[in-house]
Amino acid sequence: MSMGIVLALAGATLAALTSGIGSARGVGIAGQAAAGVCTDDPEKFSKVLILQLLPGTQGIYGLLIGFITMTQIGVMGGSSDISLVKGLLYLAACLPVIFVEPLSAIQQAKASIASIGLVAKRPDQFGKAMIFPAMVETYAILALLVSILAVFGVSALSL
């Protein structure tokens, strides 16, 4: 048994961990703004709720990478004999998600808050308000993509 599995699992759990923290914080601060709007106009609830939820996806991406990695390294059943190099590679594969997801969640939440302000004043501009936070999400998705491809790539290697 080598240290490989430890490093690989650290990558998987860190992915879910940091993304979860980022999304929790993002959805939290966006929720405060959304609740503020609802005190004035409860009918905007559904609109501001959608905006509040936008920074929540990063947590899901973290979960996704965590889960994929765990199934690939055999923590969820199967063989978990992983070399040190391979373990390190898995950890490296998780890095984009570990770093980009929490930061993008918080930045996206800030854009969401601004958009919630926009919807509060001009509810007819909801379509545009949704796009600003979605722009930030692009980078979360790109990080997710690189991590997915890397995790699958690493499991195909025979090291």
Partner 1 sequence: MSVLPMKRVMICALKKDRKAVLELLQRQGAVQVENPECPPDDPIFTRTDKSAEAALFRKYAQSAQDALAILNHEVPGKKGLLASLEGRTKLSVDEFEALVAKRDEIQTVGRAIQALDRERTENLAAVPKIESQVVALEPWLGYDLPLNCKGTEKTSAFAGSLPNEVPLQTIYESLGQYADRCHVELISQAQVQTCLFAVCETGCAGEISDALRKMGFVKAPDTDVNPAEETARLKAQLEKLDRRNGEIHAAIAACADRRGELEFLADYFTMRAEKYEVLGTLPQSPRTFLLEGYVPAERADTLRELLESQFHISVELRDPGPDEDVPVLLRNNGFARPVESVVESYSMPGRGEIDPTSLVACFYYILFGIMLSDAAYGLILAIVCGVLVRKYKNMEPGTRNFLTMFCYCGISTTVFGLLFGSFFGDSVNIIATTFFHRPDISQPALWMTPLNEPMKMLTFCFAIGIVHLFVGLGAKFYMYWRDKKYLDAIYDVVFWYMLVGGCIVLLLTLPMFTNMLSISHTLPAKAGTVAAIVAGIGAVGIVLTGGRDSRNWVKRILKGLYAVYGISGYLSDILSYSRLLALGLATGVIATVFNKMGSMLGGGVVGGIIFVVVFLIGHALNLAINVLGSYVHTNRLTFVEFFGKFYSGGGRKYQPFAVHTKYYKFKEEIQS
Torsion of CA 1, 85, 100, 47, to 10 degrees: -50
Cα separation values, 92 from 34, 42, 95, 112, 158, Å: 37, 46, 5, 30, 16
Helices vs strands, H then E, count in the chain: 5, 0
Instruction: Return the closest-CA partner of residue 26 out of 5, 46, 56.
Output: 56
Q: Within 4-43, which residues bind partner 1 (CB under 8 A)? A: none
Smallest gap from Cβ 130 to partner 1, in A, equals: 6
Q: Within 67-126, which residues bind partner 1 (CB under 8 A)? A: 67-68, 76, 125-126
Stretch of residues binding partner 1 (CB under 8 A), selected from 19-27, 28-36, 105-113, 141-149: 141-149
Q: Tell me the C-alpha distance between 65 and 93, whole Å.
A: 9
Smallest gap from Cβ 131 to partner 1, in A, equals: 6
- Asked if 56 touches partner 1 (CB under 8 A), the answer is yes
Binding residues for partner 1, rule: CB under 8 A, are: 50, 53-54, 56-57, 60-61, 63-64, 67-68, 76, 125-128, 130-131, 134-135, 137-138, 141-142, 144-145, 148-149, 152
